[in-house]
Amino acid sequence: MSTLPRVLVVDDDPVIGQSFDRVLSGKGYAVITASNGEEALRKLKDENYDVVFADIKMPGMSGLEVAERIKASQPWLPVVIVTGYGTDANEKRAGKAGVSAFLRKPLTPDMIEDSAHKALLEKGAAAVEPATKAATPETKHVPNGIALFAKNVALFVASPFIGFAYVVALPFVGLGMLAWIGTKALFKL
């Protein structure tokens, strides 16, 4: 049984949380809201989330501070900054903090859904990356989508020929093994 991806939306405007809930809950996400940074950090201590969306302008702790604290304690957790105050300085600071995306208001349903999907993909890649690095010290090349698609198509086209080769070769291999076992048994007697 799979669980729904959990999204934490940190915004002092309840309408934003409702917008995220309306867009994402119908797409298979569980949306939880927090009205400020302190509440969000408490929720992150108590529960696991898959993606965090944080507004920059909030009373108390800003969304950038929330992102920095989350990335310091849970670097694998994708954080998306949402703002109506998209300055270059804010975007640069968000980039240094390691956020997944920087979304400028007004948001569209597609922007919300696409950024949540991308963040989940990023989290999945981050979860696999440490295991890959532990297994091999050198860096592995991850094929892009087109190369992976081409490889899959080539394997799909080649599979009947490979199967035919096995069907043709199997009797010869089997007969060869029987002959080898038979000669071994004959010389033991």
The pLDDT tens digits for 151-167 are: 778 878 888 888 888 78
Q: What does DSSP assign to residue 26?
A: T
Sheet of 30-34, strands arranged across: 30-34, 6-10, 51-55, 79-83, 101-104
pTM more than 0.85: no
Is residue 129 scored above 80 in pLDDT?
no
Structure confidence at residue 124 (pLDDT): 74
Is residue 135 scored above 70 in pLDDT?
no
Nearest Cα neighbor of 104 from 119, 83, 121, 118 is 83
Is the Cβ–Cβ distance between 33 and 17 less than 8 Å? yes
Beta strands 79-83; 101-104: pairing state = parallel
Give the CA count within 13 Å in the CB-facing half-sphere of 54.
31
Structure confidence at residue 132 (pLDDT): 40
Is the Cβ–Cβ distance between 94 and 102 less than 8 Å? yes
**Amino acid identity of 90?**
N
What sign for the dihedral angle of Cα 161, 163, 167, 170? positive
Lowest mean pLDDT among 2-6, 11-15, 67-71: 2-6
Nearest Cα neighbor of 7 from 23, 31, 26 is 31
